[in-house]
Amino acid sequence: MAEQSHSVSPSGERFPLPGEGDRRAEMAHLEELVRAARDDGKEIVVVMGMGFVGAVMAAIIADTVDKETGKPSKFVIGCQRPSVRSYWKIPLLNRGQSPVKAEDPEVDAMIDRCVNQKKTFIATSNDDCLGLADCVVVDVQCDFTKQALGDMRTGEADMHALEATMRTIGEKVKPDCLVLIETTVAPGTTEFVAWPIMKKAFAARGIESQPLLAHSFERVMPGRAYVASIRDFWRVCAGCNAEARRRVEKFLHEVLNTTDFPLTVMDRPIESETTKIVENSYRATILAFLNEWSLFSERNGVDLTKVVKAIRMRPTHNNMIFPGPGIGGYCLPKDAGLGYWAYKHILGFEDGDQVFKISPLAVDINDTRALHVAELTRDALRNMGRSIAGADVVLCGASYRQDVGDTRYSGSEMVVRKLAEMGAEMRVHDPYVDHWYELELQDEYPSPGHSWSRFFRNQEHLEEIRVQKDLAAVLRGAEAVILAVPHQEYLELDPEQVVQWAGKTLAVIDCFGILSDDAIRHYLELGCEVKALGRGHIKRIKEQVRADTESLRQNA
Ligand SMILES: NC(=O)c1ccc[n+]([C@@H]2O[C@H](COP(=O)([O-])OP(=O)(O)OC[C@H]3O[C@@H](n4cnc5c(N)ncnc54)[C@H](O)[C@@H]3O)[C@@H](O)[C@H]2O)c1
């Protein structure tokens, strides 16, 4: 196969990959800019990985001003591999355009400001820029690959990108450069994997001092407060040695709002790494635990949404959340896996299965919860005398949480895949998602060989699905609608209107406590069938509607 020489952006723009001559010219230009920035008193920061986190973190650093003079104090070089898959991010950034689509207007504005006005941010694919840095921030991915559906224990951490990045950094940085790993890593990675890689590279270069390596994980949340969730949020950090710790504290105080959101400094990097893994496993566990009570509720006339609401009144329990159709996002489905894997493969313990009972189970439950949505859809259609095979089903909401366009590992994907396997004709609506790459490009998304399509049959045609924005149009002729995500647009839908758009009665499946009791009643009165995750009281409403209709008929 001929080697591809272009990288194509999501909007379809083609960028030729740089050649050796381009690299040299680019480096000469960077050196010139860095010289000028240093003359101006700025610190040089290289951010490795221009993904969801790195691109925005880089802009936040580039936007930093000296607290006394108010002048920009950092010059940032964003570095990204020149791969066919990702190179396009560089030319886009250098125009001042964000490579990540965010609901937060501050992302685009800040990147444009730093690139075009302040001129404190430039992007490159030439990692020789590492030699110019006073500080390097690492934001490359560290994935956890699951081998089977609902079996986290057979998964593996994919440290490839991170290890390669650390090797390059060790080969190129100045001895006194601070290196800060922000990537979520398996506990032990910073001190027992990354530090030795850097030390070995330093030794090969004849450098006698210890590399200055630190860890501070990201807590970024997609949505309208994307920038604030990085800059104006509590951070945790640790250094491999005393000097690394001093430097990382100084750096984070300079670039983040640590006045209002104090920094927590841990003794060792493994403690900072474990903090991230435990906080995400905690969240994943609460959600998974509610799955059994959701099934209990469905079968015993209980509305779990009201149970959760009642419990949340108690201040000690006010962060309980209703479990939707799976968990989603980049972090929650994988982070416990990184911890479980590290216990054996980095830290050398053989009794992982005796120690880790709850966290793996939580991930497995969350990963497969969405399959139940397919069962509910099948049953609702059956109650209407229809079959799921060949039924036109509309899924409302492709992303993993409300009012964002982030589709990574969303429960909705599992719903679509399972229903496609059962023969349903799927259509998708989402006001925030333009392209559902997990479906459209399933051969290469999230990476080749890793699509959830491998766990199901009959998936080929899902590549043809295009996310629709016109709800009325997508509902035309639908036999079932699945309200999968509580996007604003779905909260106030009028049942009469939905039935009118569909042109007939349809099955309505609520995955997220979206329907009010009035709406449920209204759908049932219109002759629709309603089913929902965790909402067993629907049966009661149905009996009431039936009784009311009967008494109306008798009184007529
Ligand atoms: N996205 C989130 O919501 C979120 C939240 C909290 C924490 N995190 C953590 O942040 C980290 C980064 O996540 P992300 O969402 O930004 O990932 P991402 O996949 O969007 O970005 C990673 C980028 O690094 C690049 N890269 C890989 N190897 C490289 C190399 N050798 N040199 C230069 N660039 C390289 C990739 O091409 C990609 O552009 C992960 O550890 C993740 O767990 C993410």
Nearest to 40 by CA among 79, 60, 61, 69: 69
- Three-class secondary structure of residue 158 per DSSP: strand
Take atom 7 of ligand 1 and give the residue whose Cα is closest: 218
Take atom 35 of ligand 1 and give the residue whose Cα is closest: 49
What's the pLDDT score for residue 3?
A: 62
Per-residue pLDDT, averaged over 8-24, amounts to 92
Tens-digit pLDDT profile for residues 243-294: 999 999 999 999 999 999 999 999 999 999 999 999 999 999 999 999 999 9
Per-residue pLDDT, averaged over 12-40, amounts to 95
Q: Is 86 in the pocket of ligand 1 (CB under 6 A)?
A: yes
What's the pLDDT score for residue 137?
A: 98
What's the pLDDT score for residue 1?
A: 42
Per-residue pLDDT, averaged over 184-194, amounts to 98
CA 330 / ligand 1 centre spacing (Å):
10
Tokens of 263: 């920094």
Tokens of 546: 């039936």
Does residue 42 have a pLDDT over 50? Answer: yes
**DSSP of 187-226:** TTHIIIIIHHHHHHHHHHTT--SPPEEEE-------STTH
Nearest to 78 by CA among 66, 68, 91, 65: 91
Nearest to 454 by CA among 332, 446, 412, 423: 446
Q: Is 365 in the pocket of ligand 1 (CB under 6 A)?
A: no
Write phi, then psi, for 272 (nearest 5 degrees).
Answer: -65, -45
What's the pLDDT score for residue 2?
A: 47
Per-residue pLDDT, averaged over 530-543, amounts to 98
Does residue 140 have a pLDDT over 60? Answer: yes
Residue tagged 């956890």 (tokens): 144
316 in Cβ contact with 350 (< 8 Å): no
Tens-digit pLDDT profile for residues 296-325: 999 999 999 999 999 999 999 999 999 999
CA 143 / ligand 1 centre spacing (Å):
9
pLDDT range class, residue 10, cuts 50, 70, 90: confident
- Three-class secondary structure of residue 441 per DSSP: coil
Provide the Cα torsion 145, 150, 154, 155; round to 10°.
Answer: 20
Q: Is 165 in the pocket of ligand 1 (CB under 6 A)?
A: yes
430 in Cβ contact with 474 (< 8 Å): no
Kind and range of the H or E run holding 153: none
CB atoms within 10 A of CB 5: 11
CA 80 / ligand 1 centre spacing (Å):
10
130 in Cβ contact with 136 (< 8 Å): yes
Atom of ligand 1 nearest to the CA of 164: 31
**182/216 Cα distance (integer angstroms):** 5
Q: Which of 129, 140, 217, 231 to mutate to test the pocket of ligand 1 (most atoms within 8 A of CB)?
A: 140
Q: How far out from the chain centre does Cα 463 lie?
A: 21
Asked whether the bond before 175 is cis by omega within 30 degrees of 0, the reply is no
To the nearest whole percent, how much of the chain has pLDDT over 90? 93
- Three-class secondary structure of residue 508 per DSSP: strand
Q: Which of 52, 87, 159, 281 to mutate to test the pocket of ligand 1 (most atoms within 8 A of CB)?
A: 52
Tens-digit pLDDT profile for residues 469-499: 999 999 999 999 999 999 999 999 999 999 9
What's the pLDDT score for residue 447?
A: 85
Tens-digit pLDDT profile for residues 99-120: 988 889 999 999 999 999 999 9
**485/239 Cα distance (integer angstroms):** 40
Whole-model pTM: value is 0.94
289 in Cβ contact with 362 (< 8 Å): yes
pLDDT range class, residue 43, cuts 50, 70, 90: very high
Residue tagged 């300079």 (tokens): 254
Write phi, then psi, for 505 (nearest 5 degrees).
Answer: -70, 150
**185/146 Cα distance (integer angstroms):** 16
CA 48 / ligand 1 centre spacing (Å):
9
Kind and range of the H or E run holding 274: helix 269-299
Tens-digit pLDDT profile for residues 415-433: 999 999 999 999 999 999 9
Count CA within 13 A, CB hemisphere, residue 35. Answer: 6
Whole-number average pLDDT of the chain: 96
* Longest distance between any two alpha carbons in the chain, whole Å: 97
Per-residue pLDDT, averaged over 67-94, amounts to 95
152 in Cβ contact with 336 (< 8 Å): yes
Any bridge partners for residue 16, and if so which? Answer: 6
**183/367 Cα distance (integer angstroms):** 23
